[in-house]
Each structure stands twice: as C-alpha cells, then as structure tokens.
Chains A and B, each alone.
Chain A
C-alpha cells in the first residue's frame, strides 16, 4: 500500500496527523483499547465492527501475524490508529507483517500519530465519531463524511450466515452468534460441548427444535437496543434452558428481562480490568470490550449482581433468580488477555447437568 499523509478528524474538530495506508476512507466511532499485546485478536474481534480503533500501546505489530490468533472470520474495523507499526516482526509464529494483514483486510491504517493525545481526548469527552482520511482531503468533504449516518446493523454484518456445528461433546449448546469470538467456541468445546451455532436472527422455535441442553448468547458489536427481534427471541427462551451470556449477550439478556442498558462515556476496552466476583468472593483481571452497560437502577429483586468492575463499579455480571441464567459483561474467554475465568464455563456445564 502506498504511504501518504493522512489524518484522523474528530467531530469536535480536533485533527491528528500521521502517515496513512489506505485504499478507502474510514468513518465511525473512535474508541481506544489499552492492551499491550494481542493486536491481532483485537483486530479480528467482531465486537469492534464499524469502529475506528486506537491502540494506546505505541508499538504494534512486533510479533507479526498468524491465522491462529484470529477471533473472527475477518477484521470488521472501520479504521486502525497506532503510534508506530512494526515492519520487521520477529516471532516463530510470524507469517506476515501486520501491514500486509491490514491491506488484505482493507482496513485503513493511520500511523505515526500521538495516540495518547487521542486517548486523552476521548477519555475527557467520551467516544467521538471520526474519520481517517488523506491529509489533503478538503474540509467540506471531511464534514460530509463525518455526517454519515451512524450504522445500526453491525450484528447483521458479523453474524454467521449459515447455521453450523462444532465439537463432539455430550452437552448440546445452542450458540446465538452476534459476532462470536472463536475462543468462546473453543472453550465450550473443550468443556465437553457440541455446538450448534445460529445466525443472530434465528427464531426461538428453530433453536428449541434442535433440542439444546443450554443456550449461549455471544458477544457482539453495537448497541443492544438495535436488536429488538433478538431480544424478543431471547425472552421466549428464558427459563426453558440454562442460558450463559457474554458481553452483548449479557446486555441482550438484561433487556429481554425488562432491564435497561445505557451507553458508557468511553467504555471498557483492554485486558487489565479488575472484576469482583461477589458470589465467589474473588477478584479476577479480565479482558473487556464494551461501550454499553446494564443500568443498575433498572434492576429488580429477580436478579443478583454477581460481578462488578473494581474501577467504576459498573455491572460486570448478573445471576437471574428465576431461571438458570447468568451472564457476564467481560470476556472470560480472553484472547487477548488473561485467563483464570474457566469457572464460569464450568458453572454453565453444571447448570446443564453437572459432569464435564
């Protein structure tokens, strides 16, 4: 890809100049993530669909890329913003530079920018819409691009088009794919499940027809309120089977139960987030990637807050009293990020009948 001068322009008018590698322009919500490793897992996490992602760690691409790190079928980023991209990666797993990866995925890259300055801007103002464009793009064009309507169909973009199965274990889990990360599937399989993975808009009836032992609600991008049909589907499933939800799945479950969600100022994105498990009485460091959260004020007595963020006390997990259902906001499957959350998968297995 040709390197040209480029810029990130935010709706508040701030401009950050750098070097641009792009075959297209990018427009979307600008978010930052603070993980120091795991860039490829982040890039292929469908939950980032349609966002422009800023890496706070300045050196990106050091160990190259390898398909084994992929968490989704492709990269759904609108744009990628880093301080310094590595053109000479070294690692025994390396099969190609990150720049080549981005070109193949057609993701515009803005590099050589002060990513900390962008991060501070977002931290202080909340998430902002922005564009990544060539530096010489005239202002009126930039403004036009910035005025692009917000997207609401991210889950449609990322969910599987066809139903498919995975694993050979004893428990049959119906996975609702809103943009699921591969490692969640791997975890479920490794815990002895065989999976049927459904497109997001599959009906409750169809899922139940396949006779699952449990239902898993996956992570995914965007605002959970953009998915009223899905929420309706989940409502029909409540109580019929044990349900485990992660991230967007957690939010959708809350909405389906009559609770509310809200958009956070700039969300939680990183792999160092402490979460207190009130039920198990322990604290785990977790991988997180969410811009919405369940509103504590909307909850009633039918649910227990099982996990909270140690940083800002936002809800990180719920256990439902009237049905075998629990959900977490963070990513126990890691990738990227720390492990130590396997007990949640075990809990789901236990709900479905016990033995692993």
Chain B
C-alpha cells in the first residue's frame, strides 16, 4: 500500500478546552485520527491544552504535550520534537487557525514541517471570504451578494446598496462568535463593531440574508486522487438564520426530491474539488423552498461538529478516514470499518433517520438572551436514532435532560394561548416546545409555518404527536393504540400520564402484550451487506436483530449531552471504565446519546446502544442484555440520578450502592455519617421562610452560603453578607416553602481543597490532593486547582487523609469518591462528598499517572487496590506542579454576569504542568485564554469588604510597572493608603469614561469584586464593566485570590523563560 515517504513523525494539534462552538467532537475525531496515524506506523506528537480528553492519554499519542495552544508554545514543541509533518484539520477552528499562523510566520518552513492532508492554500481559499468568493465564481456556484468590511462605515455603504436584512459574519472565529442578523443601521453598527473585534484578522463578511430558506449540509471526503464522496446530507429543521449548531438537524434530508439532493450533492463535490481539499470538508447550503435556487453559505475544510454528527449518524468514521487520506491513502485503499469487506469509497445509505437536538446552557445562565441566531449558544447536543421522525424527535427530547420526557415543557402549559402564539415567533431554545403547545391549543400547520418558516413536513409530524396525545386522552388504551404510541416514540411515563396510570403499570401492560422495543444495527448500508458494527438503536418494529452473547457483561451509563457542570471529563471516565472492564474480561455495553464523544464511537465498547438515559430506555436495554449489573459512578449526575430507580426496578448497581449515594446526598443522613466519623462541616440550617433564614443566619453568623435544597450543581447558590442581602436573595432568587426548603450554612472563608480517592471497601487509595487558588465560595469547577497542594501543613494533610479514609469506609464506597474540604486556621471542614467520579479525575489521573477510573472500576468489580498493584494511602507528591484552570464562553452569551461565585459558569478547562510553580500557573492562565498583559493599565474596582485585601495586590502590580486606575471608593481607599492610583470616570459621569478606556485599549486588565447590597447604580456599572471586558477580550479577575496569584506569577515570570514545554511522557513521577 502506498504511504508517505520521509514522514515518520506527525504533529497533531488538538482543539483545546471545551467552549461553546467547540465541544467534545474534537476529542472524538482527534482520538480517531491519532490512532489511525499510529496504525500506519507514524509517531504522533500531540499538543492539546485540555486534559479531560482521551486524546491526551499517553497511549493515544507517542508524545503528549498539554500546553497552551498558541504559536510560541507550538514552535517550542516543534523545536523539541522535530516532526516531519503536521495535520491541521483535526483540531477544529483552533487547529486550523494555528496552522495558518505557523505557516504565515514561516515556522513550518523553518523547521521543515510539511502539512499533511488539506493544504494551507485550500484552507485560505475556504476561509478567506474574498478568495472563497473568487473560487465560487470560477465554478459558477452561487453565493449571496456580499462584501468584506474592515470598518462599520463600509458595512453601512453596502447596506444602502443591497438593503436589509443582512447577515454579519466575522472572519476566523469560533462558532460564529460576534455574528448576527442586522435589520437596520443601528443593529448593523453594533454587530459589525463586535464582529471586527472577534475576528482574528479584523474582517467581517456582510451578506444578503436568505433567512427562511432550507439549510442543508453535506459532509464530503476527497483524496489526493480526486476521488470524492459525500458521507451524509443533513437538513436543519430550523431554516437559515439559526446557526446549524443551534438547530435541530435531521439526517438524511427529508423534504428534498432526488433532483434537489443530487443538485446540492454535485455542488458540494464541485466545491470541494475546486478548493482542493484532501480530507474532510463540510459544505453548508441554503435552498429556496420554492424553487431550485440555492446559495453556498459556508465551507469548513476540516473535521467539525457536523462531521462528528455525520459519523455517528451513518457509522462512517470520517476523522479516521480523513487521517488515512492525510497519510497518503486513497479512499478505495481504506477499508470500510463497518462491513470489513467493502472499502471507504462509497456513500453510506441509512434505513433510519437521526435527529440532533442542541443542549443549551440557559438553565444555568438564566439571565442570558435566549434568542438564537448566527452565533452559536449550545454547549452540547444529543442524537436520537429512529425509523420515523416523530419517534426520533421524542427520543431526542428525552435525551436532553431538561426535565421533560416529551415534546412538552411544564412551564408553557399554564400560559395563555396568546402568549404561546407569541412564543412560537421567538427564535429561541424553546420554540419547538412552544409550537407543540400551540398545536395543542389548535394552532394550525400553515399558521405556524407562516410565523417560523419551518417546513410543513416537520410541523405535520409534530401535529401527529399532538393528535396521538389526544387519542390517548380520549380512547381506551388498547393493545393496538399502545403499540402505535410506542412506535411514535411516546415514553411509558408520558402515556401513563394521559391514561391515569403509573409508568410501571404501562410497562407491565406493554410487556404482557408483547410490545417491547426491537434493536437494529447502524451499518452504513441499510442491511445490504452483513456488518459487524456493535452499534444499535431501539425501534418498535418486528425483528430484533441484535444477538445477546453468553459472556459475562456489564453495562456502563454515559453522561449524555455536554452542559455546564457536566462536560467531556465524564465521557473520559466512561471510556476508561469500559477499557478496565474489558481488561477484566467483561463484555462492555455503553448506553449514551451524545454524538460528539469517544464513548459513542462504536470502537470503544463491545456494544453501543444509542439511547436516551431515562429509566425506561435503560431498563429496556437491560431487559434484553441481562448484564451482571450497571456502573453509574462515571456518567456524572445523569447516571447517578438513574441509580435509585434502577435499583428499585431490581437492577444491580455495581460499586458503591444506592444507599451509599443516598447517605452522601441526603443532608440529614450525611450529618449522621459526619457525626459518626467525628468530622465537622460548616454549621447550617434548613429554613422555609425569610424569618427562619434570618434566624439561621444570626445563629451561624454571617457570611452565609444560601441555596435551595432541590437543585444540584450550585444553581441559585449565593454567599450573602448581611440581612439586607439575605432579604434580597430570599425575595428574588428562590421560592422557599416547606416542600422546597432553603439551606443556610455558615460560609467559611478558607482554602478549598479537593480530593479524588478510590476505595475498594477496605482500603483507600489517594492519588493526590488539589488545592484551589480561589477561596471557598467560588465553584470548584471555576477555580484554578493546583496539584500538589502548596500551602497545606503536614497536620492538615494528615487530617485530610484521615477524613477521606474514614468517610470512604463509612459510606462503604466501592470505586470513586470525591471530597471537597475547607481549611481554615488549620482546621479541616467537609463541604461535600460525592461517591462518584468528579470533573477533576482526568486531570488528577494525568498528573499522578495513576489511571484512576481503571483502578476504581476494578474496585467496583471486586478487585482490591493491593491486588491491582497499588499501595493504599496518599501517593507521594511529584517534583513538578500542575494547574487546572477554568475556561469560559462568556463571549457567546450576552447578558450573563461573569462574576465567579458558587454557581458554575465555565464550559471547559485547561491544564499546565511545569517544574516551576509560577510557570505552571502562568501557562494555565495563557492556555485558559487570559491574555495576561505585560504592561498597560489595570482598573481596580472592589467591594468595600475587599478593600483591605486589595492593598497588597495593587502595590504588587504597581511595583511591576503597571499603571493603576480605580473607581471612586476604591481609588480613595488606595490613595489613602499610599498607593497612588488614577480615579476612573464612572459610566454615570458621562463620557469619555472607563468603558471608553476599555474600548480604546488603555485598560489591559480589570480586577472587580461586587456585593449584592442592592445599590443599583454600582451593580449596573460593575456589570457593564465586566461585560465590556468580555467584548474586548481583556482579562477580568473577579476573585482577589486569582488577582493575587497572578500578581505573584507576573513578578516571578519577569525573571524566567516564559515558554517551556514538557511532554507528559517525560514527567518524572518517582515513587520514593
């Protein structure tokens, strides 16, 4: 077989942290690609700053660099490793942009690194609007009238030529950052201004809007021999105007005739050929619903979210094949991984359809603008596979985990019809639910089509669902009706609601009548060829084609869609758990529904069931497979929440028992555990009204941490410092009642410490202890974590070991346990214990070199820590430092306050390792996107209670040569304490003010803390300042601890080399 000559070592650039617009799909494609290249005997050097990924495991690439993704660090890796070649098209837009920069700066040339696969010239012609326009004109592919502007004025001139509405798309950004649709001069002004800031090259494309047209995507592969295939086409349910990442998408296209399908397929192929892509390419097209007119919207010459979706939708591994093409193979030389008989040079055909539904973070960002447009806002997505659209859509709704099992949101039910009708017109995350609700109230297909432009075909299917609801309400539940409802995708629980029964009763009746799901295979070929893919979905049909083996087997529950608080780290855990079980000789069965992930790669487990993670859907699989038990501790809260109901249904939960989980989660039962172990936690009470809250606060003493008892993950949690703030919170943030008490705990201002440990029921292995830079009160997921701890005394560490062991044993943990502690004045308090895998596990596994999930899984299966060759107790600390820093996606979310607090806001994380602590922290900051300024002005504006503490920080920055600005009270305080600062002009004092200073680049960083005293002006100003830092991409530190740490790092880094890289394989972790 032909292969590239003179290429032995290949550099692969990952996509970095999870942010909106760039999620787990690049771990999936990157992992596939690295494996695929290594299969060819190539050495792979990987750079990726995101530790919560399978691709950064030391066995996926030969050399793994978890380093900041910028040109300086990449050059350093290139200098050290001397790769012969590089692959730029697997790390999302980040990878592509970096490849362009490396090329432009001559680094690739200098080090003799040749680009594999798609070449720079092609990338430029696809990404640069002017070059793209030329290319399209050359092959007569229509693109909407457009122009590229570098100023707002130019944008307006164009607007006056072609008229509104216009779409604004900044060049070279992620997920459509800063884009939007302008309907008038004012909106154009605003959107173009922002867009130019986000564009890496200061350009924005303005084009005629074709909003309302069908949005169609093609995934294309082309090899160096010019063989070109389309893997999949997809149709957005939401017409052009909503970012495809925020659209409900169905594959294959549903409403296109063959004539239209072939017209757009040929256009996609012609485009990919003209651009000269060598590998994967995504083509987005807009099709007039009333003619054969179409426009080419966008081309992405790389693997993408859509290619990951297309891979999962068809079973065709696009990234793997793209990597082989890069390695010099042609499509016909690559085997079809599914059939093992045919080649990769064919076009998959489906005998089912898939529905992708985005998962948005508006449950966490309640104040955010929910309007969907050209800027993507979803953090993740789910995919459902079925043989009709209704069932696919309902399955997808169940996958979302937004509190509904059906195309119905409880909050819409009480609203008056007029309001529902209005909601149908809102282009937001709940529109599809509003449409269904409006149909329940008699809304017609044509009326809804007129408002939304959603194709009537999709609307009819929603109407079918609504009609079935009515039938279920009105008619007796016969066998025939139940079968019809199940075929249409109705959940037992939903049917039960309509007929006045429990889901258990429906389930029992269903089984008695023999109405059980059948499982079918995803095989790329509609059953034409025999396939061995262990990749299945449920449908209510005649034949179940999935054979059950007689091996001993275990089912692992995945973690569903990526959302804030539950990211790719749980997918990492799921995959590792599968690997460990395979080592133990078990057949592994994954149930999950996130198309972006490694866990849903059909290569990962022995069997993959692509299903919603609800009790019914999981039980159906378990009924069929009859595994020894289910592992829930690695699938985040999604899987943990299923443990109780599954246990009740008679399923064996492997590892820590349901009772252990309950004892850790139930406040009162957990208190008993602590009392028994003689461990303290911050004092607190549970209250049901304001008076009770005030009394509780006075008893435990301010500040207090308040939160509703019925939500997890830090939602609506706040720290309050006074009666006024507490009143404000109780009146606005929560609705306390006897059913929903509010917890009032004393807030201990101390150092937060986090431990992930493994218990085999008898002994406890503690790979490491992490200390947070930010004090308790900032959500652990939003804090910078340091390993090993820096400030803890030996006594404190001993106490933490003692407590962790005691609690793990008392809770009878078998597997993973995560504990969060506060250390104050040498005393250790427990805040929270979770007998499950946490978000820090991948990080800690990487920096301690202990494969924690593997060890924990084996413990859950009864293999002791010692039998696995590990010594219980705390492992020795290494001679290097590792920092994990949070990454936020605030630039995608307007109206969201960026102040850090007990509610988690980050979407991803980065890691940095170094033998110098300050450099590790510095690298973590850089990698997380904090543009640490080396000069310029710092604006300081802090709450009264923080003023004493700011003195040191301010003077340190001053000593480093930064100019200091401060707002009124803060300036007076600093000046009064001998630190000279300039008083900034407040927003309310007219312009120019401090916002202008941010805009024009004078202010390079902001340190801002706030209280919730209810001073509206101060709060508004603070909010404006913080949002403005987001919009102008300058760091805003909202925790004094981060500011303090950064000031020290900056001082230390004055005397050190800034860029230094180390491969994970080179870390010397010695067990002394």
Contact = CB atoms under 8 A, between A and B. Distances in A.
Nearest to B527: A119
Contacts of B545: 116-117, 120
A348 to B, nearest CB: 21
A90 B455 contact: yes
A89 B345 CA distance: 33
B6 interface: no
Contacts of A116: 351, 387, 520, 526-527, 541, 543, 545
Instruction: Count chain A CB atoms within 10 A of each CB in B258, B352, B388, B527 and give the residue with the most.
Output: B258
Interface stretch (A194-202, A215-223, A271-279): A271-279
Given A36-B252, A58-B388, A63-B257, A114 B543 contact: yes
Contacts of B256: 37, 63, 91
Contact of B526 (A38, A119, A336): A119
B290 A92 contact: yes
A93 B260 CA distance: 11
B332 A310 contact: yes
A57 B251 CA distance: 12
A272 B314 CA distance: 13
A66 B289 CA distance: 16
Main SS class of interface, A: loop
A96 to B, nearest CB: 14
Contacts of A86: 457
Interface string B334-366: 000000011101111111110000000000000
A35 interface: yes
Interface stretch (B261-269, B294-302, B942-950): B261-269
A269 to B, nearest CB: 9
Contacts of B254: 59, 62
B346 A272 contact: yes
B860 interface: no
Interface stretch (A73-81, A145-153, A320-328, A337-345): A337-345
Given A57-B350, A119-B527, A123-B530, A69 B257 contact: yes
A120 B543 contact: yes
Nearest to B342: A311
Interface in B105-154: none
Interface in A103-157: 113-117, 119-120, 123-124
A17 B254 CA distance: 26
Contacts of A89: 457
Contacts of B259: 69, 93
B226 interface: yes
A41 B225 CA distance: 32
Given A34-B528, A63-B255, A337-B262, A92 B291 contact: yes
B258 A83 contact: no
A56 interface: yes
Contact of B258 (A69, A115, A273, A340): A69
A132 to B, nearest CB: 16
B495 interface: no
Interface string B361-404: 00000000000000000000000000111000000000000000
Nearest to A55: B351
B290 A276 contact: no
B388 to A, nearest CB: 6
Main SS class of interface, B: loop
B349 A270 contact: yes
B914 to A, nearest CB: 50
Contacts of A117: 541-543, 545
B457 A37 contact: no
B229 interface: yes
Contacts of B348: 272
A236 to B, nearest CB: 38
Interface string B212-230: 0000000000000111010
B743 interface: no
Contacts of A114: 518, 541-543
Contact of B528 (A36, A59, A66, A123): A123
B350 A274 contact: no
A266 B529 CA distance: 11
B502 to A, nearest CB: 30
Nearest to B460: A88
Given A62-B255, A272-B348, A119 B541 contact: no
B351 A285 contact: no
B331 interface: yes
A17 B541 CA distance: 11
B456 interface: yes
A90 B387 contact: no
A114 B388 CA distance: 12
Contacts of A83: 387-388
Interface string B517-543: 010100001111110000000000111
A35 B457 CA distance: 20
B526 A34 contact: yes
A311 B529 contact: yes
Given A113-B542, A119-B527, A310 B346 contact: yes
Interface string B543-573: 1010000000000000000000000000000
A274 to B, nearest CB: 5
Interface string B670-686: 00000000000000000
Nearest to A63: B257
A337 B345 contact: no
A204 interface: no
Instruction: Count chain A CB atoms within 10 A of each CB in B227, B253, B290, B347 and give the residue with the most.
Output: B347
Contacts of B529: 123, 311
Given A58-B387, A90-B255, A90-B455, A339 B526 contact: no
Contact of A274 (B261, B343, B456): B343
Contacts of A271: 258, 349
B516 to A, nearest CB: 14
A91 B226 CA distance: 34
Contact of A38 (B258, B353, B455): B258
A119 B262 contact: no
Given A37-B257, A63-B257, A339-B266, A119 B455 contact: no
A59 B343 contact: no
A273 B262 contact: no
Contacts of B345: 274, 283, 310
Instruction: Count chain A CB atoms within 10 A of each CB in B226, B257, B345, B455 and give the residue with the most.
Output: B257
A93 B256 CA distance: 10
B343 A36 contact: no
A58 B262 contact: no
Interface string B837-869: 000000000000000000000000000000000
20 contacts: A34-B526, A35-B349, A36-B350, A38-B258, A90-B456, A91-B255, A92-B291, A93-B257, A114-B542, A116-B387, A116-B545, A117-B541, A123-B528, A270-B528, A272-B349, A282-B225, A310-B345, A311-B346, A335-B258, A340-B269
Interface of A: 16-17, 32, 34-38, 41, 56-59, 62-63, 66, 69, 83-84, 86, 88-93, 113-117, 119-120, 123-124, 270-274, 276, 281-283, 285, 310-311, 334-340
Q: Nearest 9 pairs between A and B by C-beta? A: A38-B258, A117-B543, A114-B542, A56-B526, A272-B347, A90-B457, A37-B258, A336-B258, A114-B541
Given A59-B254, A272-B348, 7 more contacts: A17-B542, A38-B261, A57-B349, A83-B387, A90-B255, A116-B541, A340-B269
